[in-house]
Chain A
Amino acid sequence: MAQVLTQQTSAAAHHPEANYLTENTGLKNWLLTVDHKRIGVMYFWTIMLMFFVGGVLALVLRTELLTPKETIVSADMYNQLFTLHGAIMTFLVLVPLIPATLGNFVLPMMLGAKDVAFPRLNLASYYIYVVGALMAVAAILGGGLDTGWTFYTPYSSTTGGGVSVMTMAAFTLGFSSILTGVNFIATIHKLRAPGLSWYNMPLFVWGMYATALIQVLATPVVGITMVLLLMERLFQVGIFDASLGGDPVLFQHFFWFYSHPVVYIMILPGMAIISEVIPTFSHKPIFGYKPIAWSSVGIAVVGFLVWGHHMFVSGQSEFAGAVFSFITFLVAIPSGVKIWNWMATMYRGSISLGAPMLYAISFLLLFGIGGLTGLFLSTLATDIHLHDTYFVVAHFHYVMMGGTLIAFFAGVHYWWPKIYGRMYNEYWAAIGCLLVFLGFNGTFIPQFIVGSRGMPRRYYNYLDQFQFLHVASTIGSYVLAIGLVIMAVTLIVPLFRKRYDAPGNPWGAASLEWSVSSPPPSHNFLHDPVVTHGPYDFKAVRELEKMGSHS
């Protein structure tokens, strides 16, 4: 292995220009690339564009809520805006966010492979995503989409035209998601380097595997649900309409059978990133490898059996409600297993507070709050009070933004030097992280309070007594936005430097993607790697680097 490492770095030193960014440049080579790294990068910027749009919508919504009644937009407009914010953030941002960007980039490298199993399908998934995004934009421009991102019948099967286009967009985006999932499962099974056993894989790969399982098993169901909803709108086929002999609650079952597992498509990759960042920045092997690995799979499995907790007040039987409530509590077990193992990893470690670690620690706090407030909602009695209030809004933002997005930011800061070969300014990255953390809590803690006092979600108007908390939340969202802008600038500024100043392994990490130069060569490895040490064996890496520098 020592020889391998030495050879890889020295070969790269002879051709400092030869990497995946500089070889075969030109628009056409990028647009038709089958290189998983380039596809990951294209996905990254496209999704960030969508995140920007969704984020601006969020700021408009928060600004509107500064005062009761109309502040800057009309009530109808408000309904459309929160629908678009939700639909964009879930279908276009959170679902593909980590697997399609960082997953695409590092997963094959972590396995010691040259690419994913089906590179052309990978490119196809990107373009299908783009088509889906364009359809969503068309739905936005067409107007009249005011159902909320959940498209509940019977309102969604009777209201204006935008719903049909958005439904088809969701169907299309599902395809893209499935292709990524199929690709990852086949890659993990068949393209591992010699010596890389299942329990030698980085935990990021385990997280991606569990995610891919859900993508493959849940997404087809939302596909057919969207088809049925479309048929309902076009021909009134009667499935979801009680007056025609169908059942509107059936739609909710279908929708949540996908859309609850989909939150695990969002959070599992986030947990996967945290499992990489924490041991690397604690300079200590991960504590409890197998429990973390299997708890990912456990969450994926249990996640399929809890969809009914979205429907406690929909009229489903009390017995069903109790069963769903019980199974929902079970999700807390594998999640808790992860949290405690991460903290045990940090315990007595030599922690360095780089930007990825700051985000990882934020994740532990925010996801902890998000997870624990979930218990209030999975308890039948308290849910009756909290259902459809701002408490729910705050809860899922703590999980989706405080969990997935914060973990994504950790991952972006972690792999940014690998992706672009340049280091960013640690000081400003820390400032960005701090503002994001403070702004985020400032936005959503008031929402927990206002929700528990009875402020319903999705409402345009509210009682005067809620105004203070709404104003606080809005100010928090502005701070959050400033933090995000600082983070973006900090990451983008280094890209204008000509020289690559990032070493191959800036953090002293032990997984395979760090054994090559930054940015990586076009084919990832100059020759096929053979794995001789574990993904968290930092001691072996330090010794190898010492030997390398002496040779």
Chain B
Amino acid sequence: MSDIAIPAGGHGHQDAHGHPKHLQHHFHSSAQQFEASKMGMWLFLVTEILLFSGLFLVYFILQAKHPQAFIEAHHHLDRNLGLLNTIVLLISSFTMVMAVQSAALNRVKATLGFLYTTFTLGGVFMVVKYFEYSHKIHDGLLLGNLFSYAGAKVPGEYLFFSMYFMMTGVHGIHILAGMGVIAYLIWRTHKGDYSGEYYTPIDLTGLYWHLVDLIWIYLFPLLYLVS
């Protein structure tokens, strides 16, 4: 066992090799740190999927119990706005990919450009959502006991709106959180903290953003295209 190198005194990790600034003390290499971070992010995304699965499950059960009410109620949604938001998010996923790619290639300006674009598209999505919401609120098409729409044709239409507001609400919170993180990334990129060697936060935020996008891809047909 003479091949085990034993540093003379002090803490083994501080000597010999130069330490990159981003490398935390308990990792041996940047690659190990990156792999661990990526794994942590995927596990977090699994919890997100399970969180939304709960909502999806409730949606399917209520729809099975009240199919007519769901068909009737979904006519109040504006398909065109939903489609617009779908396209906006798809493009934002593309710009996010480009931001990660630019960061990997150490193109700081391009990275910033793509991050700003992604942030803006997230904002556009929320603005469209705001107009949709205010229209529903104006008509009294709200969740639970706030539902006051007089022209409901089938009993149980408020169940659809309970689901609509909870699902798009939880999703919207995730978009806002993602925009917050992207704003933080923009700030860090301006400071010059990321390089071709270390851009893990941008990479991981990309994964998150794609998941939030993907969930919308499921929400759109479920809510806007019932019949």
Contacts and interface: CB of A to CB of B under 8 A. Distances in A.
List 5 tightest A-B contacts by C-beta distance, closest first: A235-B144, A224-B54, A527-B12, A237-B162, A114-B26
Given A119-B26, A220-B50, A220-B51, A236 B32 contact: no
The majority secondary structure among interface residues of chain B is helix
B36 interface: yes
Contacts of B159: 237-239, 244-246
Contact of B4 (A117, A187, A530): A530
Interface string B139-172: 0000111100000000110110010001000100
Given A186-B43, A191-B26, A239 B51 contact: no
Given A186-B40, A220-B54, A235 B143 contact: yes
B58 interface: yes
Interface in B103-147: 143-146
Contacts of A246: 62, 159
Contacts of A237: 143-144, 159, 162, 166
A246 B159 CA distance: 8
A217 B145 contact: no
Contacts of A238: 144, 158-159, 162
B221 to A, nearest CB: 21
Given A117-B40, A182-B43, 5 more contacts: A186-B36, A224-B51, A245-B62, A527-B12, A528-B12
A113 B43 CA distance: 21
Contacts of B145: 235-236
A235 B159 CA distance: 11
Interface of B: 1-2, 4, 6-7, 9, 11-13, 24-28, 32, 35-37, 39-40, 43-44, 46-48, 50-55, 58, 61-62, 65-66, 69, 143-146, 155-156, 158-159, 162, 166, 170
Nearest to A521: B11
B25 A114 contact: yes
A239 B162 contact: yes
A181 B43 CA distance: 9
B40 A216 contact: no
A7 B8 CA distance: 10
Contacts of B7: 527
B39 A186 contact: yes
A523 B145 CA distance: 56
Contacts of A1: 1, 4
A115 interface: yes
A221 B54 contact: yes
A228 B4 contact: no
Given A114-B25, A216-B47, A250-B58, A236 B144 contact: yes
A546 interface: no
A77 interface: no
Contacts of B58: 228, 239, 250
Contacts of A530: 4
Contact of B36 (A190, A244, A254): A190
Contacts of A532: 1
Interface in A462-499: none
A189 interface: yes
20 contacts: A4-B1, A182-B43, A183-B40, A185-B39, A185-B43, A186-B39, A189-B36, A216-B43, A221-B53, A223-B54, A224-B51, A225-B54, A227-B166, A227-B170, A237-B166, A238-B144, A244-B158, A246-B159, A523-B25, A527-B12
B39 A216 contact: no
